[in-house]
Structure 1
Amino acid sequence: MDDAPRTTWQALSHGRQYLRSAWPWRAAGYLAGSALTGIPVLLVLVLLATAGATLSIALVGIPLLALLGLAGIPAAAVERRRLRLVDDDPAPSPHRVPAEPGLLAWARLRYREQATWREFGHAVLHGFLLWWVDLAALAFFLGFPLVLLTAPLQLALGGGEARIGKLWLVTSYPEALALAVAGAVLLPALLYPLGSFAGARAALTRALLAPRERELRGLLAEVTRSRARLVDAFEAERRRIERDLHDGAQQRLVALTMTLGIARLDVPPGPLADQLAAAHDEAGKVLGELRELIHGIHPQVLTDYGLTGALADVAERSAVPVDTDLAAGLPRLPESVEAAAYFGVCEALANIGKHSGAARAAVTARHTGAALLIGVRDDGRGGADPAAGSGLTGLADRIAVLDGTLTITSPPGGPTVLSLEIPCPVSNP
């Protein structure tokens, strides 16, 4: 059901339904399990601290003290799992994934994270205090009424005399039955504060070990970094493919074309000469297509002359005449930014040539010191729709990976204006 409680506190708001549900016993199990984790945590902390401090004189204890700082990580992982007893919402780990493999990279990252020290603080608090408090609350809210309920049984086992809860001396069954009735009344009444205490205890644990806001910020930052790494890896792979094709397959095709051309000169007219001529022409076409493919993967002009030269080059090759206003001295920018801007302008000019019916277009580019601003404008019919499969959707996704924005203004009748803004520092003036 959609309104089913997901936490102990939510279950408490349902009134009497709380007593008929499993939440009181889940709360009791959560508090009872605190000792099962608190005692081992206490022993580990004491042993590591004692051994590390004792052996630090001989430098042997320094690794133990270093390990002490990481002792809260496994304890916190167990506590986040235990939260499921009183909170159905998952509590994922706030730790980031190391950018490099290996134990050293993992340890270096963990020591720098605030989450590691929050977990260590929780381990100290849990081992020295919290599990004692949890057991005391459990003994009062649940153990005390259960002891009263068993007063007649204790009297029978005690041979006519029993001290109930170390407080009341009972010598008759009417007294024992009165205490049992009191326990039966107190038990459901005390289950409510039991659930409240377990909910507060779980909230404290979540605040220290899985803070939602910090966790989301950390995960968002990690996603942003991973997207940036993917873009960089993608651009590096494009350049590697471009180099392999340029230095390998293209050179072989050039050699083949020259060989076929020389062979045509040495063969007298006839069927063989015609076949060589056809092969020579076909090799020339393949070479031209390969050069266009290489240029589309990663244009060499972008590497050699930067974004200014690459945009001027693509403007010259455009099917529609293009006026360029490229800021003088446009600095060298990160490769991923230059590539995204270049292919964005290529896609825009290709769409202008195919769909706009424009007679002329214009490209502007400048760097403000903090961001790259590019504009592409045409005098076509307008009405451009990025959702119509023009390639602009993929371009917007590519710009978004770099935290950039793409906006299109294209009223019916034109003009169409495409604007790119990519925040980026100056890589090389």
Structure 2
Amino acid sequence: MADRRAVTVWRALRRRPLRFLLSAWPWRCWAYLASGALLGYAALTALVLLVFAGMALSFVGVGIAVLTCAALYGIPVGALERRRLRLVEPVPLPGPHDALPARGPVTWAGNRLRERATWRELGYTVVFGAVFAAVGCGVVMLLCLSAALTAVPVIAWALAPEPVMIIPGEPVSGPLEALLGPAVGVLGLALSAYAAGLLAGAQVRTAELLLSPRDDEAGRRVIELTRSRARLADAFEAERRRIERDLHDGAQQQLVALNMTLGMAEMELRESGSPTTELVTRARGEVRSALAQLRDLVRGIHPQVLTDHGLAAAVAEVAQRHPVPVTVDIDLPHRLPDTVESVAYFTVTEALANVAKHSGATAVTIVARIELGALRLLITDNGKGGAVPAAGTGLQGLADRMAISGGRLVVSSPVGGPTQLRAEVPCSG
């Protein structure tokens, strides 16, 4: 259900009742109720016509489509009401419906009919046209009558100072008697302003109840988004493992076999003194270079040490190969989930790559701890600073990848340094 915050017009009415009369609130409430009276009666009339037309045409089959339109009629009415509500409620009301893929009108209608929000909007349409439109019309009539009582006697006496008949049997013979009507009219205006504020607030509360998402629906959306994010992370991990396996068992093994074949060919050519021996030797060197690059690529995708020994050992291995001295302080009580270790490892490797390319640092420190069920990484270098995630250094990609796992990334890099990269990855599913 929508949150139970105080309705804005009620809050203004309760805090300063007298100032409320002199503010813009009465005009906004009158405009809201007057337009609501017209729209409410029109909406209710159209709904009744749709229902009767659907029942009358049901014997020819077309009535089912018309009745379906009647059931879905509350959706556009609800959308219009959420926009019109801005007259008296500054905080916009969110829509209650889930986003649907474009799969045709029949599929769309079927999905909408299964949503409870659709039937709540239809119920609001009925209440809007049968109750709020009628009451709003009564407030508008009170407003018009009060305005007439306020202005007509004075205008009539000013145009004809001699005794005139404003109301049959009630002559107005002087200004004092002419002021009696305006006094009643002003009282009626104040009463209509307060009534409009109360009624507008009641309609806002009803709209929040029927036209906004319920807590269970919002919770269901959050759960579905969480599951989708988890499925995306799992799919990414499965694809990474497939690529790693294909490279390790396929291309890498073929290069090893090719290197062995070239080695045997080199031996035979060397024994026969063939001039092509040098070319074969050069080809073996190219194969060994390609094999080394492929092994580095496989290690970069997901190092075996990360799978076998965990995050601390993998980061320590990366730190040993880094051109800048790296101090590693990782104290973890147990192995972390594969997704968490993978995200943390690639965060460290990308950060170290940025240090080597852009920072000009002479020292890097990596600290990792488990705090409140989350892995917290702190990577600090003493470089020149000025790192900006939007500058194409890979930090934005790290932040996006961290968000997939439900984590967050904070970069602090003032000009002149130091640069600190704080990463937090939840360890739970």
What band does the TM-score fall into relative to the shorter chain?
0.5 to 0.7
- 1:141-168: CA deviation from partner (whole Å, max 9, x where unpaired): x2232121133278579994344xxxx7
State how 1:201-280 maps to structure 2 within 5 Å.
201-211=203-213, 213=215, 216-232=218-234, 234-235=236-237, 238=240, 257=259, 261=263, 264=266, 273-274=277-278, 276-280=280-284
Distance 1:245 1:185 in 2: 86
Q: Does 2:196 correspond to 1:194?
A: yes
Change in Cα spacing, 1:395 to 1:190, as seen in structure 2 (3 Å) is closer
Whether the 8 Å CA contact 2:154–2:179 is kept in 1: the answer is: no
Hey, what does 1:133 align to over in structure 2? 135
In the aligned structure 2, how far is the partner of 1:123 from the partner of 1:199? 17
Pick one of 45, 52, 71 that aligns with 1:50: 52
Distance 1:40 1:255 in 2: 81
For 2:112, give the aligned amino acid. Answer: R
Q: Distance in 2 between matches of 1:198 and 1:66?
A: 31
- Per-residue CA deviation, residues 289-339 of structure 1 (Å, 9 max, x unaligned), is 42553466479xxxxxxxxxx99x932xxxxxx5xxxxxxxxxxxxxxxxx
Q: TM-score scaled to structure 2, two decimals?
A: 0.64
> For the Cα contact (< 8 Å) 1:48–1:65, is it kept in 2?
yes
CA distance in 2, matches of 1:362, 1:265: 54
Q: Which amino acid aligns with 1:283?
A: V
Question: Measured at CA, do residues 179 and 389 of structure 1 come closer, stay the same or move farther in structure 2, by a change above 3 Å?
Answer: same
Cα distance in 2 between the residues matched to 1:111 and 1:63: 13
Question: 1:147: which partner in 2?
Answer: 148
1:86/1:364 CA distance change after superposition, 3 Å: closer
Q: Give deviations 1:376-419, integer Å, cap 9, x for gaps.
A: xxxxxx96353313999999765548xxxxxxxxxxxxxxxxx9
- Residues 61, 258 of structure 1: alpha-carbon distance in 2 compared, 3 angstrom cutoff: farther
Mapped contact 1:260–1:276 kept (Cα < 8 A)? yes
> 1-side partners of 2:368 and 2:238: how far apart?
32
Paired residue secondary structure (1:18): helix
Q: Where do 5+ consecutive residues of structure 1 fail to align?
A: 300-309, 316-321, 323-344, 367-371, 373-381, 402-418, 424-429
User: Tell me, what secondary structure is at the counterpart of 1:387?
Assistant: strand
Matched, 1:387 2:377: yes
Q: Which residue of 1 aligns with 2:314?
A: 350
- Give the Å deviation of 1:224: 2.4
Alignment partner of 2:32: what SS? helix
Pick from 84, 88, 91 the counterpart of residue 90 of structure 2.
Answer: 88
Structure 2 runs not aligned, ≥5 long: 1-5, 320-326, 341-365, 370-375, 381-394, 408-424
Taking the TM superposition and a 5 Å limit, the aligned residue runs for 1:278-297 are 278-291=282-295, 293-294=297-298, 297=301
Distance apart, 1:206 and its partner CA:
1.6
Distance 1:152 1:100, change over 3 A: closer
RMSD in angstroms over aligned alpha carbons?
A: 4.6
Give the aligned residue type for 1:28: W
- Asked whether 1:11 is paired with 2:12, we answer yes
Task: State which of 62, 65, 76 in structure 1 corresponds to 2:64.
Answer: 62
User: Which range moved further: 383-392 or 55-64?
Assistant: 383-392
Q: Which residue of structure 2 lines up, in the alignment, with residue 123 of structure 1?
A: 125
Q: In structure 1, what is the Cα distance between the partners aligned to 2:219 and 2:152?
A: 55
Conserved 8 A contact 1:38-1:126: yes
Instruction: Using the TM superposition, give the Cα deviation of residue 263 of structure 1 relative to its aligned residue in structure 2, in angstroms.
Output: 6.2
Relative distance call for 1:288 and 1:42 in structure 2 (3 A) is: same
Find the aligned partners of 1:84 and 1:203 in 2 and give their Cα distance: 13
Deviation at 1:250, TM superposition (A): 5.8
Q: CA deviation at 1:81?
A: 0.6
1:314 matches 2:307 = yes
The farther-off stretch of 41-50 and 25-34 is 41-50
Distance change (3 Å), C-alpha of 1:45 and 1:237: farther
Cα contact 1:98–1:105 (8 A) shared by 2: no
Question: Secondary structure, in 3 states, of the residue corresponding to 1:384?
Answer: strand
Relative to 1, partners in 2 of residues 1:81 and 1:99: Cα closer, same or farther, differing over 3 Å? same
- Range moving further from structure 2, 116-125 or 242-251: 242-251
In the alignment, is the contact (CA less than 8 A) between 2:230 and 2:404 conserved in 1? no
Partner of 2:348: none
Amino acid of the residue matched to residue 285 of structure 2?
D
- What amino acid maps onto 1:293 in structure 2? L
In the alignment, is the contact (CA less than 8 A) between 1:28 and 1:194 conserved in 2?
yes
Change (3 A) 1:279 1:39: farther
Q: Is the 8 A contact 2:336 2:427 kept in 1?
A: no
Query: In percent, how many aligned pairs have the same letter?
Result: 39
What displacement does 1:68 show? 1.7
Alignment of 1:371-410 (within 5 A): 384-385=368-369, 386-389=376-379, 399-400=405-406
Aligned residue for 1:194, secondary structure, equals: helix
Distance 1:239 1:56 in 2: 58
Change (3 A) 1:59 1:398: closer
Cα gap change, 1:137 to 1:239, in 2 (>3 Å): farther
Contact 1:96 1:222 in 2 (8 A): no
* Structure 1 residue 49 displacement after superposition: 0.8
Contact 1:51 1:64 in 2 (8 A): yes
Shift of 1:82: 0.9
Q: TM-score, normalised by structure 1?
A: 0.64
CA contact (8 A) 1:399 1:422 kept: no
Distance 2:427 2:62 in 1: 56
Matched, 1:161 2:159: no
In the aligned structure 2, how far is the partner of 1:280 from the partner of 1:226? 47
